[in-house]
Chain A
Amino acid sequence: MKRASLLAAAAFFASSIMASAQAAEPLKIGFISTLSGPGAALGIDLVDGFKLGIEHSGGTLGGRAVELITGDDQLKPDVGRQLAERMIQRDKVDLIAGVVFSNVMMAVAKPIFDSKTFMLSLNAGPSDLAGKRCSPYFFNVAWQNDQSHEAMGKHVKDKGYKRVYLMAPNYPAGKDALTGFKRYYSGGEIIGEVYTAINQPDYAAELAQLRAAKPDAVYIFYPGGMGVNFIKQYAQAGLKTEVPLFGPSFSFDETILPATGDAALGVMNTGFWSPDLPNPQNAKFVKAFTAKYSRPPSPFAAQAYDGALLLDSAISAVGGKVSDQDRFRAALRAAKFDSVRGPFAFNNNHFPIQNFYLREVIKDDTGRMTNRLVGTVFARHMDAYHDQCKMK
């Protein structure tokens, strides 16, 4: 009898030691981002925003120390896929986060979902993963790709513009962008829909055609360097004062504005966030980010920061046991965290239901280019694909 109770005590002891060992083991997060080449500015903002989010969660996520295993996908889908496979098989990560570009996202999705690893997209939100190929292992804390464009379609329609000219690069995201715009634009005519070669540096020829078509509004989707080129040349051609230019926040964010100079000043754009959104979490984020990295945060940094806060809330809800996948999924789905963007909830397809805002490019007190909030275009907006997702 005595020996039996001794054994029981020993077993209890051993199990409690093992449990604490498990709690002490850091949470391994595989972080896939684009850190070199022309897309690097976005990827670096994701990493910096995410790290700040961890810092503001007390240096842990849900009480567990974090080991961040960062990988650079170089904006190449095959490299992204190799990274994902290595993180799952060799590093045995607990979950994967990051991914800037949708083409990389589509390549890493299969190995990640097949291995039943959780994936938190901090940026890419391709329609496939929001609709038919939605997955119980996939969450997107940013937006579905079409949504910012849908918001501007509605704004341009509400303003009563009748002759609208559309331009985007000739690749899937460019076509999705203009499709999104057209989904909510009506009451006028699309008098031009022009697709240019991806990474085309000069738009003089297209701008001459645009001027000749006499539109009363122009909508563009040009991310990154293409955006800088287009915006500068649009202003230099004298078009900015003739025909108002509209775009999604991706063409007017804080990674782009330092390079456009005054050419972007005053342009209206739509996105899920603005640096001056009035909520305490956002004020804290913007202040801390600017102080820590000496540059104003971009929307990319904001959504990555939210990603860290979301993980913190979910991991602490399951007491650090992310291996309990059903409970962890339910905790993520609940999204009990204070988002920098105000209201936030997950839809059935694990994409956000959130507001979309109209913003204007301004110069702040220190002369730096940034955006200010003008109004709300969509309140608690759902993406167009959630009906096609079979998850409840």
Chain B
Amino acid sequence: MTLLLFVEQVLNGLQLGVMLFLMAAGMTLVFGIMGLINLAHGSLYMIGAYVAATVQQATGSFLVGLLVALPVAALVGMAVEMIALRRLYPRDHLDQVLATFGLILFFNELVKIVWGPQAYFMAMPDMLSGSVDIIPGIPYPAYRLAIVATGLAVAILLYLLITRTRIGMLIRAGATNREMVNALGVNVDRLYTIVFGLGAALAALAGIMAGPILALEVGMGESILILTFVVVVIGGIGSVRGAFVAALLVGIADTFGRVLLPPAIAEMTIYILMAAILVWRPQGLFPAHA
């Protein structure tokens, strides 16, 4: 592998990594704070993409699509939390898995009814449709660079939100010791709903940015869901910082695994990575719980 190709593959790995981070950030918070395993997280990714594509087709603007789809997905997430998931917090994980699996089926059928069974098209924003010579002779799609930039920017914003704001303090406190936050008289119901909405918006952002690269199709959220779980587990449940490091790690490992190893082993790379890290640190890299 030449140096140029190596650089290009590192970029590909980073791009996959930041997408995984957007998915994992919301999931790890929900899991860490509410103790809820939410399989339907991928459905919000799908809904974000479909809504953005529809608005984009109607208005011709990717940005408008993005700005409409984010709050829509956040509202859908909050509604799901208030209507269905709230009842599941005290139940055990098996019940949660069953119920949220049911939600996956519900959302998949809903999308099929509204948008049809055929794959749906989302165009690339014109401004970003070209390619940039990151190094002379290696054209890299501008849109993929934009994904990396957006992902890193969101990571910084999220970091500031969590470390510098009151709501961030509550989120951190909730991830570390839920009962204590409750005992201190914080409106926990509202906190949970906000966290869930935030997670939904992040998942939708990942879906919207993936839209122009991928086929929008029923069940598109499930293919990224499994990788997201791996990231959450490696990073340490409840830790956004852990999710960030783990997402980049998984992104790079998966990319180089696919390129360098025979297919049968390449498909296992990230699981081997996960197993190795869990042997070394059973709680993940940055466990939020003490």
Contacts and interface: CB of A to CB of B under 8 A. Distances in A.
Contacts of B118: 41, 255, 258-259, 295
Nearest to A260: B121
Interface in A41-63: 41, 44
Contacts of B256: 205
B223 A205 contact: no
Interface residues of B, number: 44
A38 B219 contact: yes
Interface in B158-198: none
Contact of B213 (A44, A225, A232): A232
A115 interface: no
Given A40-B112, A225-B220, A238-B139, A205 B121 contact: no
A255 B12 CA distance: 29
Interface stretch (A17-25, A194-202, A280-288, A315-323): A194-202
B5 A197 contact: no
B9 interface: yes
Interface stretch (B70-78, B239-247, B259-267): B259-267
Contact of A37 (B131, B215, B218, B263): B218
Nearest to B268: A197
A160 B254 CA distance: 36
A209 B123 CA distance: 25
Contacts of B212: 232
Contacts of B259: 205-206, 208-209
Contacts of B266: 197
B108 interface: yes
B124 interface: yes
28 contacts: A37-B108, A37-B218, A37-B219, A38-B219, A40-B112, A41-B118, A44-B117, A197-B263, A197-B267, A199-B223, A202-B213, A204-B16, A204-B144, A205-B9, A206-B259, A208-B5, A208-B9, A208-B259, A209-B5, A224-B119, A227-B215, A228-B214, A228-B217, A229-B215, A232-B212, A238-B131, A238-B139, A238-B141
Interface of B: 2, 5, 8-9, 12-13, 15-16, 108-109, 112, 117-121, 123-124, 129, 131, 139, 141, 143-144, 210, 212-220, 223-224, 255-256, 258-259, 263-264, 266-267
Q: Which 7 A-B pairs have the closest CB atoms?
A: A228-B215, A259-B119, A40-B117, A204-B12, A225-B215, A195-B263, A225-B217
